[in-house]
């Protein structure tokens, strides 16, 4: 009983400390951005219009200073006092439309991490209700991405539920990602779980492989604790 009371007090104290002295770092994720919605290319909830996306980014830029994912991790691991409000931008699945927003992000000096499924770089579709090539980035597209504002992370070799994989299969999946992406000059050892699904076993595997897990649990980040939390960027009007 005493331990539970102490735990509650410590958690409450931490929340108060975070609120007053440790501004959160927000990490946002988007998927496909284009002028008009094409139902054959992605699910409606994964799409944003170009105009709405740009407007949202400009709004966020008024609220936050955008930094890279590695810098955010470093700050979360080392800072005990943070007044400035930072944000990180990420993109999942490797939709080819990201190429159309990279010039805008470069113009705004906003770093971005692209989380890719290497199997689909050859034009294979992610799932039956998605269209194949040319909806996704290819190996040739990837080779042209050299901007220092862009980093490349892993989203599973295929877009599979990592929580449903055996520990051995998950490790092989991560190793296949590294084999495919590790030589890219902008590669970083970060793994974003498809749909955010993970288990203690997958988390341990990533720790063992010195890879930072990236979740999608809608939370803010105050300190680093077994992964980076993300939320979907809201471009609805």
User: Which domains are present in the chain?
Assistant: 25-232 (3.20.20.370)
Position 170 confidence tier, pLDDT thresholds 50, 70, 90? very high
Contact criterion met (CB below 8 Å) for 35 and 236: no
Place of tokens 């991405």: 145
Tens of pLDDT, residues 125-153: 666 665 554 578 999 999 999 999 999 99
Residue 155 clears pLDDT 60, i.e. is over it:
yes
Give pLDDT, residue 117: 94
Give pLDDT, residue 39: 82
Please give the average per-residue pLDDT across 172-186, as a whole number: 97
Tens of pLDDT, residues 73-118: 999 999 989 999 999 999 999 999 999 999 999 999 999 999 999 9
Give pLDDT, residue 135: 79
Give pLDDT, residue 128: 61
Give dist(CA 68, CA 103) in Å, integer. 17
Residue 46 clears pLDDT 60, i.e. is over it:
yes
Give pLDDT, residue 235: 84
Residue 5 clears pLDDT 80, i.e. is over it:
no
Give pLDDT, residue 129: 60
Give dist(CA 235, CA 32) in Å, integer. 12
Residue 64 clears pLDDT 60, i.e. is over it:
yes
Give pLDDT, residue 21: 79
Give dist(CA 117, CA 111) in Å, integer. 20
Residue 62 clears pLDDT 80, i.e. is over it:
yes
Tens of pLDDT, residues 188-234: 999 999 999 999 999 999 999 999 999 999 999 999 999 999 999 98
Position 123 confidence tier, pLDDT thresholds 50, 70, 90? confident
């Amino acid at each position: 009983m005493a331990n539970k009371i102490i735990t509650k007090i410590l958690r409450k104290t931490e929340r108060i400390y975070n609120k007053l002295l440790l501004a959160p770092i927000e990490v946002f994720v988007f998927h496909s951005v284009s002028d008009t919605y094409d139902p054959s290319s992605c699910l409606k909830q994964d799409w944003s219009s170009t105009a709405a996306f740009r407007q949202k980014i400009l709004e966020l830029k008024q609220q936050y200073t955008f930094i890279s994912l590695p810098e955010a991790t470093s700050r979360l691991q080392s800072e005990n006092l943070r007044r400035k409000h930072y944000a990180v931008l990420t993109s999942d699945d490797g939709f080819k439309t990201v190429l159309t927003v990279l010039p805008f992000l470069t113009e705004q000096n906003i770093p971005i991490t692209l989380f890719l499924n290497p199997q689909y770089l050859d034009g294979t579709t992610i799932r039956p209700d998605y269209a194949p090539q040319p909806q996704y980035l290819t190996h040739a597209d990837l080779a042209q991405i050299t901007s220092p504002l862009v980093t490349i992370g892993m989203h599973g070799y295929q877009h599979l539920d990592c929580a449903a994989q055996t520990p051995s299969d998950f490790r092989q999946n991560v190793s296949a990602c590294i084999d495919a992406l590790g030589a890219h000059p902008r590669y970083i050892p970060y793994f974003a779980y498809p749909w955010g699904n993970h288990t203690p076993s997958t988390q341990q595997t990533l720790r063992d492989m010195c890879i930072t897990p990236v979740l999608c649990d809608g939370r803010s980040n105050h300190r680093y604790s077994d992964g980076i939390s993300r939320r979907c960027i809201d471009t609805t009007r």
